[in-house]
Structures are given as structure tokens and as C-alpha cells.
Amino acid sequence: NAGVTQTPKFQVLKTGQSMTLQCAQDMNHNSMYWYRQDPGMGLRLIYYSASEGTTDKGEVPNGYNVSRLNKREFSLRLESAAPSQTSVYFCASSLHRGVDEKLFFGSGTQLSVL
């Protein structure tokens, strides 16, 4: 029972470097999400994909891009990392959006940008 799998678990970048965070789910869910979690700020939505082939901005999309590669995979890319992007990133999935939307989360990626 893998659920939602995120890689890597930890990453250290220098300012200006790029990287892609990977996320895959094996629950045949339609919707996928990327959140960041910072102390005192709770979970903030970066981007989401309501269904395969669609992506939408969340609350804090600046500095990020996403790709819904297929139904299983949803990646988050930082093109030019900044110290303000130091955070814990969570990928989540749900069967569908809307009524009775239930999120299943991965275990997170801790990213430090120096």
C-alpha cells in the first residue's frame, strides 16, 4: 500500500539552482495537489490538478511550475530556487474534487535553499 510517494525526502539547493520534486499515487485518484508548509503558516496550496490534463494555480504559485505527466504523476519544478522557497513540500491526491473531497498526503520533501 504505497499511497502517495514523494521523492526526494530531503534536498539542499543553492540560490538559483533548479530542481523537480516528484510525486506519484497508486490509488487511481483524479486530483492531485502540491502544498508547502512553513512554521506558523499552515498548509498553503501551490498548484493543483483537478483531473489529468488540467492544472490550476493555488494560493502561492509564484516561482513554481507543475506538470501532470499522467494520471499517476504530478511534478513540481523550481526553475531558480530562492531562500524564500525553503519549506516542507507535500503532495496530496484525492479521488475527486468538490463534495466529500478527502486528501491523502505523501510524507513530504524538506527543501533548504541556501
Partner 1 sequence: TQLLEQSPQFLSIQEGENLTVYCNSSSVFSSLQWYRQEPGEGPVLLVTVVTGGEVKKLKRLTFQFGDARKDSSLHITAAQPGDTGLYLCAGEGGNTPLVFGKGTRLSVIA
Name the residues that contact partner 1, by CB under 8 A: 4, 33, 35, 40-45, 48, 58, 90, 92, 97-108
Q: Least separation, in Å, of the C-beta of 104 and partner 1?
A: 8
Q: Least separation, in Å, of the C-beta of 32 and partner 1?
A: 11
**How far is CA 13 from each of CA 5, 20, 26, rounded to the nearest angstrom?**
21, 11, 29
Give whichever of 63 and 108 is closer to partner 1, judged by the CB atom.
108
Q: Answer whether 110's CB lies under 8 Å from 88's CB.
A: yes
Give whichever of 15 and 57 is closer to partner 1, judged by the CB atom.
57
Q: Answer whether 32's CB lies under 8 Å from 48's CB.
A: yes
Q: Least separation, in Å, of the C-beta of 90 and partner 1?
A: 5
Give whichever of 67 and 110 is closer to partner 1, judged by the CB atom.
110
Residue 59, H or E segment: none
CA distance 67 to 51: 12
Residue 107, H or E segment: none
Give whichever of 42 and 53 is closer to partner 1, judged by the CB atom.
42
